Each structure stands twice: as C-alpha cells, then as structure tokens.
Amino acid sequence: MIEPKKKKIIVFSGAGMSAESGIGTFRDSGGLWEQYRIEEVATPDAWGADPEKVQQFYNMRRRQIIDAQPNRAHQMIVQLEKNYEVTVVTQNIDDLHERAGSEHVIHLHGNIRYSKSSGPNAEKAYYPIDGWELKLTDKCPDGYTLRPHVVWFGESVPVYEHAAAIMEEADILIVVGTSLNVYPAAGLIHFASHAKKKYLIDPNADELNIPKEFSVIAKGAEEGMTELLTALESL
C-alpha cells in the first residue's frame, strides 16, 4: 500500500525558542543587546578592530549553549516528525534543535558550534569546534584565522535563497519566539504563501507586527507548543 504523502511543516524559530532552556533573548528587557553593543561584538568592523573581544564574546556564548539543554518545545517539534515532514528554519546559532533530535535544521545566522575562515572563502567549509573555546591562534587550512560560523550584522545570509524555497513548500507554518525585527530573516515568513495554516507563538505577541492570517498563541514556547499540538490534532 502506498502511504499518503506527509504534509510539510516549517518551523521558523528565534531566540524565544531557547529562552526556556535558559538562553536569554536579544531584545527583551535585560536581553543580550542591552548588555553588549552590537557594533563591538557582532559586525565585521568589530572583528577588524578587536578580534579578541569578538572571539571572547562568542566563546562565552558557546560555553553557555553547551551547558544548556533542549526544552520541551524543541522536543515537541521533533514529535511532529511522526506525522509531518518537518524542516526547522532557525535564526538561532545554538544547536538545541539538533540536540533535541530534529532531522532537518537550516541555520540562517550560522551555528556557534562551528568555525569558518576569516578569509575570502568563508562559506566553503565549516569546522566543528571541540569544546567552547576558539582561539585567535586557530587557523584553517587556507592559513586564515578561524572565526565563529555566525552571520554578523552587515553580512549576507548565505542560505537565504535555500530557506525561501523551503518556505514556499510549507503546508503549515509555525513561527516561534522571534520579534521579526531582523531582516532579511524576518521576510522569510512571506514566502510561505501556500501554507493553509500559520501559527505564531510568542508571549509578547501583542507587541509584534503580525500578518492577520496568523493564529496567535500568546504563550511561551513550551506552553504554546503544547496548545499547538492539540490544535493540529483537530485539523
């Protein structure tokens, strides 16, 4: 017997997805961008001016991410794979979706557990980092210093077209824990034009600019995903 084709769910996640794993968001009160200046740690100019400071910032973040665990919301996204074809398109540089067991994860802004060349061929190869520390003395085969595999402000998003094509295939779109402030990433939700159902989970949803076709669940990721799984059962 031929199995019916599974419907496609795309999960588009942001920092709020990992908040209940203890990883702070960027723009909530007390968020990372209140504690650090973007232009000192997350731009190509910052790296040019003070690579040690940038490296230390990402070493600190990597250490925190290694110590964190996937939360129930990450796990519920894995559960969806039983009945759906699921791809996660994440803005997060943590690897909690993968560690929860998600099979298909696209990192728009890179993956902090990897490094890449600071030279011209940065997107040709990514190198796994053993442990939390990347040093300025660590070099890649082309001789350039290794930098974190993260997209900085002012840099392009190399996987954008690929992610947009995946979005176009969505039957169901689930947006979790993003302020939809950072472009081009936030623009991706508009590619999911065929999706029959679109959900957005965010405890501060009333502060966001959300297209009207979305069903909004104004809760944290774990509670919101629990409610969403119930909603999907009755589709």
Which C-beta is closer to ligand OAD: that of 109 or that of 113?
109
Q: Least distance in Å: CB of 180 to ligand OAD?
A: 6
Q: Least distance in Å: CB of 212 to ligand OAD?
A: 18
Residue nearest to ligand OAD (CB): 16
Which C-beta is closer to ligand OAD: that of 9 or that of 94?
94
Q: Least distance in Å: CB of 190 to ligand OAD?
A: 16
Amino acid identity of residue 207, one-letter, is E
> Parallel, antiparallel, or unpaired: how do β-strands 110-117 and 146-150 relate?
antiparallel
Contact between 79 and 225 under an 8 Å Cβ cutoff? The reply is: no
Burial class (CB in 10 A: 0-12, 13-18, 19+), 230: exposed
- Does the N-terminal peptide bond of residue 184 adopt cis geometry, omega within 30 degrees of 0? yes
Q: Least distance in Å: CB of 141 to ligand OAD?
A: 26
Q: Least distance in Å: CB of 110 to ligand OAD?
A: 8
Of 97, 107, 109, 149, the catalytic one is 109
Q: Which two tokens stand for residue 81?
A: 């794979």
DSSP state of 139: B
Which C-beta is closer to ligand OAD: that of 166 or that of 200?
200
Is 162 part of the annotated catalytic residue set? no
Residue from 213, 208, 234, 224 nearest 74 by CA: 224
Site residues, ligand OAD (CB under 6 A): 14-16, 19-20, 25-28, 31, 42, 91, 109, 151, 177-179, 181-182, 201-204, 220-221
Contact between 79 and 229 under an 8 Å Cβ cutoff? The reply is: yes
Which C-beta is closer to ligand OAD: that of 14 or that of 117?
14
Residue 53, number of CB atoms within 10 A of its CB: 13
Q: Which two tokens stand for residue 94?
A: 């943590």
d(CA 94, CA 184): 19
Q: Which helix (H) or strand (E) holds 115?
A: strand 110-117
Which C-beta is closer to ligand OAD: that of 83 or that of 215?
215
- Report, as residue numbers or ranges, the catalytic residues: 109
